[in-house]
């Protein structure tokens, strides 16, 4: 029995007392829920394709709109994990822009006379910044098309979308509207839905990718859980996550999960493999945990392996962990742990975020328990909450 299954099998009374009612189950359910999200996309696909066509993505429509992927915090990292894939398959400019930046600098980020499609991601659909940005944009820039994807049918971003021809709201299944404080299955399912959007014209091709992701995720959960539980037994004060391209978004989300779920008791940072050398590496020491989401691209991987080797030689981390999308060759830089889900075909980097992030989520879960916190509500002083509150919107 793996460490995650042990938590899932606890008596309900103990789960309640330890704050384990939601988070372990929401992490564990992810691979199966991705299939449900894909089926939801299939049902909504005609409506989505019609909307995208009206937004400027019809065949022969000329220059395509600029796409903004909009969200805050974890929802911003969803956009960053999708930008490479959408740019590649939609053949247009795709930029991940935090809703927090749009709230304060919307006019500066917009180029006059340019067409835009904004794709907004939000678990609750009720964050003050997300609601305000959508309402402001619809008023000041009425020509922008908005695709709003949320997990909460009762959120204002979904409810306020009704009846507006320039706005299409899509709500995922309620099962992925995470009840725990930290976004886990809501993150990966919003990512999967974004990957479905990228393949709006060829869903059958994506279905084959998704089936591979589901099997890989199922294989990954038990080994990732046992590794995370073992690492949580050591007293790390810092953790550093690195990834390149779309996997940098995984590094950022993993760093946030560990920070949130330990109430800041484990300080975290995230960078690209090359970016870490330009200053941030100074923060690493023998009390640090180092996690690298190793690219499947051989050229990129060489830079990451150089970094892993350098950190080992300089003893800048107590342990180095590699998470890979396929088999890791014998030339593994001597790292202490290697996680590579058993899969007949390696998963391409563009599609890995939904699977790889599971390790960051599990680190957050088991480190939270190590610090005697309650993972479902790990902020005893109320510093953070499930939905951001007390943000005044200023005109």
Euclidean distance between CA atoms 315 and 28, whole angstroms = 34
Place of tokens 């610090």: 371
Closest listed residue to residue 366, CA positions, set 216, 226, 241: 226
The per-residue pLDDT string of the chain (395 residues; one tens digit each, 9 = 90 and over) reads 899 999 999 999 999 999 999 999 999 999 999 999 999 999 999 999 999 999 999 877 778 999 999 999 999 999 999 999 999 999 999 999 999 999 999 999 999 999 999 999 999 999 888 999 999 999 999 999 999 999 999 999 999 888 889 999 999 999 999 999 999 999 999 999 999 999 999 999 999 999 999 999 999 999 999 999 999 999 899 999 999 999 999 999 999 999 999 999 999 999 999 999 999 999 999 999 999 999 999 999 999 999 999 999 999 999 999 998 766 654 566 788 899 876 667 789 999 999 999 999 999 999 999 999 999 999 888 777 777 777 778 87
Give the architecture (CATH level 2) of 221-370. Answer: 3-Layer(aba) Sandwich (3.40)
Q: How many CB atoms lie within 10 A of CB 246?
A: 23
CATH 3.40.50.10490 region(s) of the chain?
Answer: 25-201, 221-370
Contacts 24+ apart (CB under 8 A), 47-53: 47/168, 48/147, 48/168, 48/170, 48/197, 48/200, 49/200, 49/201, 51/145, 51/147, 51/168, 52/117, 52/147, 52/200
Closest listed residue to residue 27, CA positions, set 334, 368, 320: 368
The conformation of residue 184, written as its DSSP 8-state character, comes to S
pLDDT at res. 383:
75
Euclidean distance between CA atoms 159 and 138, whole angstroms = 14
Q: Within its chain, how far is the Cα of 324 from the centroid?
A: 17
3-state secondary structure 332-377: CCCCCEEECCCCCCCCCHHHCHHHHHHHHHHHHHHHHHHCCCCCCC
pLDDT at res. 333:
62
pLDDT at res. 340:
84
Q: CB–CB of 205/150 below 8 Å?
A: no
Euclidean distance between CA atoms 293 and 340, whole angstroms = 10
pLDDT at res. 330:
44
Which residues share a beta bridge with 145?
117
Q: Where are the alpha helices (DSSP H) in the chain?
A: 3-8, 12-18, 23-28, 30-52, 74-90, 99-109, 128-140, 156-159, 185-198, 203-232, 246-261, 298-314, 353-370
CATH class assigned to 25-201? alpha beta
- The SS3 assignment for 40 reads helix
pLDDT at res. 322:
96
Contacts 24+ apart (CB under 8 A), 6-15: 7/365
Q: CB–CB of 257/364 below 8 Å?
A: yes
Place of tokens 């909460």: 152
Tell me whether strands 288-294 and 167-171 are parallel, antiparallel or unpaired.
unpaired
Quote the tokens at residue 282: 């100074």
Closest listed residue to residue 219, CA positions, set 347, 85, 340, 89: 340
């Amino acid at each position: 029995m793996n460490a995650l299954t042990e938590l899932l099998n606890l008596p309900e009374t103990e789960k309640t007392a330890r704050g384990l009612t939601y988070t372990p189950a929401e992490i564990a359910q992810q691979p199966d829920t991705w299939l449900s999200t894909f089926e939801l996309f299939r049902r909504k696909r005609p409506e989505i394709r019609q909307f995208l066509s009206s937004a400027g993505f019809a065949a022969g429509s000329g220059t395509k709109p600029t796409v903004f992927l909009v969200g805050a915090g974890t929802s911003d990292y969803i956009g960053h994990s999708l930008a490479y894939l959408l740019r590649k398959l939609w053949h247009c400019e795709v930029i991940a822009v935090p809703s927090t930046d749009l709230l304060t600098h919307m006019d500066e980020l917009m180029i006059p006379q340019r067409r835009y499609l904004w794709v907004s991601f939000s678990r609750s659909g009720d964050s003050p910044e997300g609601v305000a940005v959508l309402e402001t944009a619809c008023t000041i820039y009425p020509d922008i098309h908005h695709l709003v994807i949320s997990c909460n049918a009762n959120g204002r971003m979904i409810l306020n979308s009704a009846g507006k021809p320039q706005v299409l709201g899509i709500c995922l299944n309620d099962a992925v509207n995470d009840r725990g404080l930290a976004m886990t299955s809501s993150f990966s399912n919003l990512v999967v839905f974004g990957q479905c959007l990228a393949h709006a014209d060829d869903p059958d091709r994506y279905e084959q990718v998704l089936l591979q992701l589901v099997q890989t995720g199922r294989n990954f959960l038990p080994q990732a859980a046992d590794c995370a539980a073992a690492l949580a037994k050591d007293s790390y004060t810092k953790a550093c996550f690195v990834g390149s391209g779309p996997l940098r978004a995984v590094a950022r989300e993993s760093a946030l999960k560990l920070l949130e779920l330990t109430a800041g008791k484990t300080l975290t940072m995230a960078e690209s493999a090359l970016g870490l050398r330009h200053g941030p590496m100074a923060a690493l020491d023998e009390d640090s945990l180092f996690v690298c989401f190793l690219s499947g691209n051989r050229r990129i991987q060489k830079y990451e392996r150089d970094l892993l080797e350098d950190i080992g030689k300089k003893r800048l981390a107590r342990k180095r962990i590699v998470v890979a999308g396929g088999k890791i060759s014998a030339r593994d830089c001597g790292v202490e742990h290697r996680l590579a889900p058993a899969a007949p075909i390696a998963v391409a980097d563009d599609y890995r975020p939904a699977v790889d992030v599971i390790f960051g989520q599990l680190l957050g879960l088991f480190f939270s328990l190590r610090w005697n916190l309650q993972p479902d509500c790990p902020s005893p002083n109320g510093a953070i909450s499930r939905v951001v509150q007390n943000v005044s919107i200023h005109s």
